[in-house]
């Protein structure tokens, strides 16, 4: 098991440059950095080559996260939007591959965060989402990339809220590089049991996010980490565990994640780093790896 952190922990915008964080997370002892793929198409080939080299030099593996915008929604009832989504993913995956990234996770099958002022068509969105992911799976596979479909809580997305729904979706897609992704923050809201949910995903679990119930770093709250660790061991999970703490207010990240109070306790960057380092030690101890 490898351990990583989403660089957005330190940032306010998904568009923030992620290159400088490769060395930082290596110094903190992580194996992996997760970067936001939302704006990767704005990076030049030279930028991407430099980041790839920096990852090699620092012994860091990259993974990618994405919350597709409404205009790039693979499950939209509007076929023009679905086509734009497909084109966006093909370009994004092509650039993601330039960083040797093998895992991209998030609400790939939909858009994020969902606008609930509009009526919701769960059945239709799910069916179009299965088709949309099926339609990009081989493209991703040819680049060696797994598509990890994140199960989110009801307030952020309606298509997949439980591990069981995630497994059924991935089975319907039926492509070996399309996997289920779970996140302890969302599981805490939706699942009856953390252990059962992880065991339900079993061999289909392709990526795993961690965070407390208020998205502080793992170890600061009341998620049953021992139960989570036992279940990950039980299913012989050998993938990546990426902590995804969101503790800062402000910017698009603060607004998308609904961070309306300072959860850093006034931390400066050195204290933020120390919290991440301590949480990594906690995560390795309790989850393994």
Ligand X SMILES: O=C(CO)[C@H](O)[C@H](O)[C@H](O)CO
Kindly tell me which of 7 and 225 has the beta carbon lying closer to ligand X. Answer: 7
DSSP-derived secondary structure letter, 221 = S
The question of whether 90 is a catalytic residue gets the answer no
The question of whether 150 is a catalytic residue gets the answer yes
For 41-58, b/e burial (b = at least 16 CB within 10 A) is eebeeeebeebbebbeee
| Active-site choice (150, 156, 191, 212) | 150
Binding mask 209-238 for Mn ion (x = CB under 5 A): x-----------------------------
Alpha-helix runs per DSSP H in 174-268: 184-190, 194-201, 225-234, 251-256
Q: Return the residues of window 145-204 that contact Mn ion according to CB under 5 A.
A: 183
DSSP annotation string for 40-90: GGGS-HHHHHHHHHHHHHHT-EEEEEE---GGG-TT-SSHHHHHHHHHHHH
Minimal distance, residue 185 CB to ligand X, in Å = 6
Q: Are 247 and 11 in contact (CB under 8 A)?
A: no
Residue 38 neighbours by CB under 8 Å, 6+ apart? 14, 15, 66, 67, 69
67 binds, among Mn ion, ligand X, none (CB under 5 to 8 A by kind): ligand X
Secondary structure tally for the chain: helices H, strands E = 10, 8
Stretch that binds ligand X, among 43-51, 61-69, 71-79, 164-172 (CB under 6 A): 61-69
Binding mask 170-199 for ligand X (x = CB under 6 A): -------------x----------------
Kindly tell me which of 148 and 231 has the beta carbon lying closer to ligand X. Answer: 148
| Active-site choice (11, 34, 165, 244) | 244
- Give the active site residues: 150, 244
Residues forming contacts to Mn ion in the complex (CB under 5 A) are 183, 209, 244
Residues forming contacts to ligand X in the complex (CB under 6 A) are 36, 65-67, 106-107, 112, 150, 152, 156, 183, 209, 244
């Amino acid at each position: 098991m490898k351990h990583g952190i989403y660089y957005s922990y330190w940032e306010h915008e998904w568009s923030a440059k992620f290159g400088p964080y490769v060395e930082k997370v290596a110094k903190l002892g992580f194996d992996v950095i997760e970067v936001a793929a939302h704006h990767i198409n704005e990076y030049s080939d030279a930028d991407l080559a430099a980041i790839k080299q920096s990852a090699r030099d620092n012994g860091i593996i990259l993974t990618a996260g994405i919350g597709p915008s409404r205009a790039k929604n693979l499950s939209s009832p509007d076929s023009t939007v679905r086509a734009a989504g497909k084109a966006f993913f093909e370009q994004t995956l092509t650039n993601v591959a330039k960083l040797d990234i093998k895992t991209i996770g998030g609400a790939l099958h939909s858009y994020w965060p969902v606008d609930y002022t509009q009526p919701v068509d769960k059945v239709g969105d799910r069916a179009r989402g299965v088709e949309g992911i099926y339609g990009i799976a081989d493209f991703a596979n040819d680049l060696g990339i797994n598509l990890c479909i994140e199960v989110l809580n009801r307030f952020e997305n309606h298509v997949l809220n439980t591990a069981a729904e995630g497994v059924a979706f991935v089975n319907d897609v039926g492509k070996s590089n399309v996997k289920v992704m779970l996140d302890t923050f969302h599981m805490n809201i939706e699942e009856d049991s953390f252990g059962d949910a992880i065991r339900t995903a079993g061999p289909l679990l392709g990526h795993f996010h961690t965070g407390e119930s208020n998205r502080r770093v793992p170890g600061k709250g009341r998620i049953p980490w021992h139960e989570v660790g036992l279940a990950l061991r039980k299913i012989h999970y050998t993938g990546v565990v990426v902590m995804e703490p969101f503790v800062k207010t402000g910017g698009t990240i603060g607004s998308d994640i609904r961070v309306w109070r300072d959860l850093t306790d006034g931390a400066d960057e050195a204290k933020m780093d120390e919290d991440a380092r301590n949480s990594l030690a906690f995560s390795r101890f309790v989850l393994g790896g």
